[in-house]
Amino acid sequence: MTAQALNMNQHRGELRIDEPMSRHTVWGIGGPAKRFYRPEGIQDLTEFMSSLPPDEPIFWLGLGSNLLVRDRGIDGTVIATDTLDAIHVTGDTRVRVATGVACPKVAKFCAARQLSGSEFFAGIPGTLGGALAMNAGAFGGETWDLVESVQTIARDGSLRERMAKEFTIGYRSVEGPGDEWFTAAELQLERDDDGTAAVRIKELLRRRAETQPMGTRNCGSVFRNPPGDYAARLIEASGLKGERVGNAVVSEKHANFIINTGGATATEVESLIVRVARRVAVDSGVRLVCEVRIVGRSADPGSQQ
């Protein structure tokens, strides 16, 4: 792996060549990214974006949760957003959050300022950018219920403010203008003068610790919940708790989690995802939809079934 300061067009960020993505995903899995760029800030990012070829594959990285990078890596440019971490109050009940801010930080920031509505973010182990991209939710709350407007960046580096109504929002799905990515969002919250938001966050974190395999290498929920049911219930009903492919294992504590028990490959995880989905489809007739974003190049995961 080679690291170098990016100097074209006087960019201030850092560019790494052939950067192992296993260093940047919560599963601890992933082959090398051809280019890995961490901008110094939003202005640096706009300049960098404008310098890329128009057909360059771009992959956005937050905390590396909800992401499986295949073993042969990514033939393109990964942009790490953790340096886009500004968060501040913009009105009586409005907060502007950059997409690199971790969701739990959003929840705690708002609660500390007597604002409520974002408590569910405490249960989402990713950044606001990822939450915006998939309308992430937890404990009955969903990201886009709070969004008033977003800032996006286009391939040419131009920034634009867009209203929430310009996007089509569904369960774990967001459709909007093509070739634009989120860089910030304006969230509309409510007053919390009695301090219940902080209490609710503590309760949600307690429930999360009781029901999810904390302290293990997992990416969060693997499958979306089907209408009127739960993916975890269906997986457990198929007897798949503890199911294993290599060092990738379905959690005994929560069946919708897959754990890297040590040294698992992306192929093993993807193969286990395919196996679980097939078994549930046979047993219950329900086709589970994968919530995890799978990127990069690899062999056919079916080869390890």
Q: Which residue has the higher pLDDT, 140 or 234?
A: 234
For residue 235, the enclosing domain spans: 213-304
Residues 144 and 191 in one domain: yes
User: Which residues does 22 contact at the CB level (< 8 Å), separation at least 6?
Assistant: 28, 29, 30, 31, 69
Distance between CA atoms of residues 106 and 100, nearest Å: 11
Question: Residue 102, SS3?
Answer: strand
Q: Is 124 a residue whose pLDDT tops 70?
A: yes
pLDDT grade for 232, boundaries at 50, 70 and 90 = very high
Residues 149 and 226 in one domain: no
pLDDT in tens, 204-220: 999 999 999 999 999 99
**Residues assigned a catalytic role:** 172, 221, 291
In whole numbers, what is the pLDDT of the chain averaged over residues?
Answer: 93
Token pair for 220: 């969060």
DSSP symbol at 167: S
Q: What phi, psi does 141 have (nearest 5°)? A: -105, 150
Tell whether 208 is covered by a domain.
no
Type of residue at 269: V
Tell whether 206 is covered by a domain.
no
Residues 130 and 197 in one domain: yes
Domain boundary among 201, 226, 249: 201
Q: Are 8 and 35 in contact (CB under 8 A)?
A: no
Q: Are 232 and 255 in contact (CB under 8 A)?
A: yes
Q: Is 301 a residue whose pLDDT tops 80?
A: no
User: Which residues does 93 contact at the CB level (< 8 Å), separation at least 6?
Assistant: 115, 188, 189, 190, 191
* pLDDT at 305 (0 to 100): 37
Q: Are 72 and 298 in contact (CB under 8 A)?
A: yes
Residues 96 and 48 in one domain: no
**CA contacts within 13 A on the Cβ side of 231:** 22
Interstrand relation of 58-61 and 74-80 (parallel, antiparallel or unpaired): parallel
Q: How many domains does the chain have?
A: 3
pLDDT in tens, 4-58: 434 444 578 999 999 999 999 999 999 999 999 999 999 999 999 999 999 999 9
Type of residue at 215: G
Distance between CA atoms of residues 247 and 236, nearest Å: 19
CATH at residue 47: 3.30.43.10
